[in-house]
């Protein structure tokens, strides 16, 4: 081939996914898709454990998790042609279960209805361009603080599920009995996952969960009552969302609905944008101006995935930063995401058996994932009080109040107040000030969630 000329597409698959143009091959994309799947397959076990705490049928959630991840990833690859895989998001599932359902007392079908409406809202905001206004109004360092705070939140839940941290009337929390079977099993899982992670073993979390579960079985710590498998397990959560109940929220939940919708929408929006930037930049898909080609298609797909996921019976579906592992393996097109989705679809046939996985086996994954989510905190300018104070309040209040909403409220409000005190408020900050006023009103008239 003459120097300087690109190879011509050799088939329909090549032309559709622009394989040659992006310097990749079908074989490379398949391997990248498998890599992405291995790094994020832990969600099939972890998501049911978290949503099961909300009273949802674990087997059904496991099937819904696989279906939602498969649908979303295949749609992303087909429509947006980016190597971005999706699944029910960590952090938002914790908010769904521990804050919305357990703390606020909202029935899980109603909570699914809130997820559905947040997906519709995200779709509308994307189509109307309001998304750009929201993104421009929130300081970027708060995105990093929210991610870090959610990481601590997830890690805290993992420590609690493992029995490593327990309640204490004198100190609120204390170290649990590390010799207890559950805690000891979880520590074993931490060692396994940690060791494989530092050796860059693909699928370290999934392997660690399975290995920990096997040890639990051998030690007689797991009671197994296998049930005949049927795809009908999905019906336990599919189409169970209660939209009428969403608008029927009353009393202290009346305005709480707005808070729930805001958190689902806000976290999904910025988590998705952060993932997009990280993955597309590493894949070399950003243009010279730092823009992501086809961004609206990506965001529309993300919103659609959340809508379909809520109908299937799971919390907010979002882009996974683990997609970067597939990109590192050479993935450059949507074919990578499609392969990941197909593997999730195949996993659906064994998903209901996730209920035999003990909390002590999934807790280490929560702890490790929580730790990995702290990386964005390096983006905060900790030597600048205008950034450090709101960021710290956000990071601290999310796990300490067991509420992402409270962390967002403290961070955004503190940022607005400090800008006013410093005298640096600009005309473009009007939307930020409105958000801060809404949060102040929430604390004054509604109390804490």
Same domain (yes/no): 269, 319: yes
For 117-121, the CB contacts below 8 A with 24+ separation are 117/243, 117/246, 117/261, 118/261, 118/264, 118/265, 118/268, 118/306, 118/316, 119/303, 119/304, 119/305, 119/306, 119/307, 119/309, 119/310, 119/316, 120/303, 120/307, 121/261, 121/265
Which residues, at least 6 apart from 268, have a Cβ–Cβ distance to it below 8 Å? 89, 92, 118, 122, 302, 306, 316, 318
Strands 172-175 and 165-168: antiparallel
In a domain, 4, yes or no: no
Which residues, at least 6 apart from 346, have a Cβ–Cβ distance to it below 8 Å? none
Which tens digits make up the pLDDT trace of 226-250? 555 566 778 899 999 988 888 775 4
Percent of the chain whose predicted confidence (pLDDT) is above 90: 36
Dihedral class, residue 328 (left if φ above 0, else alpha if ψ from -120 to 50, else beta): alpha
Output the pLDDT for position 338. Answer: 97
Q: How many whole angstroms from its chain centre is CA 179?
A: 32
Structure tokens at 74: 């295949």
Whether the CB-CB separation of 384 and 106 falls below 8 Å is answered with no
Q: 439 is in which domain, residue-wise? A: 380-448
Same domain (yes/no): 300, 345: yes
In a domain, 116, yes or no: yes
| Average pLDDT score over residue span 356-372 | 83
Output the pLDDT for position 191. Answer: 96
Answer yes or no: is pLDDT of 125 > 80: yes
Same domain (yes/no): 99, 134: yes
Same domain (yes/no): 439, 320: no
Output the pLDDT for position 289. Answer: 57
| Average pLDDT score over residue span 68-96 | 93
Answer yes or no: is pLDDT of 437 > 50: yes
93-98-101 Cα angle (round to 5)? 95
In a domain, 134, yes or no: yes
Same domain (yes/no): 414, 335: no
Answer yes or no: is pLDDT of 219 > 90: no
Same domain (yes/no): 295, 424: no
Same domain (yes/no): 400, 290: no
Count of domains forming the chain: 2
Whether the CB-CB separation of 39 and 322 falls below 8 Å is answered with yes
CB atoms within 10 A of CB 289: 5
Same domain (yes/no): 260, 409: no
Same domain (yes/no): 112, 261: yes
Cα separation, 22 vs 57, in Å, equals 43
Question: What are the Cα distances from residue 374, in Å, to 73, 146, 279, 368?
Answer: 25, 10, 17, 10
pTM here is: 0.73
Structure tokens at 268: 């999904």
Same domain (yes/no): 44, 121: yes
């Amino acid at each position: 081939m003459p120097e300087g000329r690109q190879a011509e597409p050799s088939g329909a698959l090549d032309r559709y996914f622009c394989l040659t143009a992006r310097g990749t091959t079908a074989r490379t994309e398949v391997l990248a898709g498998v890599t992405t799947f291995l790094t994020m397959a832990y969600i099939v076990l972890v998501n049911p454990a978290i949503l099961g705490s909300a009273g949802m049928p674990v087997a059904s959630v496991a099937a819904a998790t696989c279906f939602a991840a498969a649908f979303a990833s295949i749609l992303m690859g087909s429509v947006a042609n980016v190597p971005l895989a999706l699944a029910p998001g960590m952090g938002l599932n914790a908010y769904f279960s521990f804050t919305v359902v357990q703390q606020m007392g909202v029935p899980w079908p109603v909570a699914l209805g809130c997820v559905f409406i947040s997906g519709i809202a995200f779709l509308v905001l994307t189509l109307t361009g309001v998304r750009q206004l929201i993104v421009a109004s929130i300081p970027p360092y708060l995105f990093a603080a929210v991610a870090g705070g959610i990481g601590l939140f997830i890690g805290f839940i993992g420590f609690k599920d493992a029995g490593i941290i327990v309640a204490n009337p004198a100190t609120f929390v204390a170290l649990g009995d590390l010799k207890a079977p559950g805690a000891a099993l979880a520590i074993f899982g931490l060692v396994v996952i940690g060791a494989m992670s530092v050796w860059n073993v693909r699928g370290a979390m999934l392997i660690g969960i399975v290995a920990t579960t096997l040890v639990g079985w051998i030690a007689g710590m797991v009671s197994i009552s296998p049930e005949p498998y049927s795809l009908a397990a999905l019906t336990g959560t599919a189409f169970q969302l209660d939209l009428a109940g969403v608008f029927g929220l009353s009393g202290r939940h009346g305005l709480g609905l707005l808070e729930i919708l805001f958190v689902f929408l806000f976290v999904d929006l910025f988590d998705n944008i952060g993932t997009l930037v990280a993955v597309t930049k590493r894949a070399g898909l950003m243009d010279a101006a730092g823009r992501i080609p086809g961004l609206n298609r990506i965001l529309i797909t993300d919103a659609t995935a959340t809508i379909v996921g809520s109908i299937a019976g799971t919390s907010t579906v979002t882009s996974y930063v683990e997609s970067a592992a597939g990109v590192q393996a050479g993935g450059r097109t949507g074919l990578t995401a499609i392969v990941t989705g197909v593997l999730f679809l195949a996993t659906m046939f064994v998903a209901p058996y996730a209920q035999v996985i003990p909390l002590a086996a999934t807790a280490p994954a929560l702890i490790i994932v929580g730790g990995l989510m702290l990386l964005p905190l390096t983006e905060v300018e900790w030597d600048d009080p205008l950034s450090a104070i709101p960021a710290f309040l956000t990071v601290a209040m999310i796990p300490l109040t067991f509420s992402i909403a409270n962390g967002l409220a403290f961070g955004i409000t503190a940022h607005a107040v400090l800008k006013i005190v410093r005298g640096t408020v600009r005309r473009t900050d009007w939307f930020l000030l409105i958000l801060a006023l809404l949060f102040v009103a929430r604390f004054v008239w509604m109390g804490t969630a």
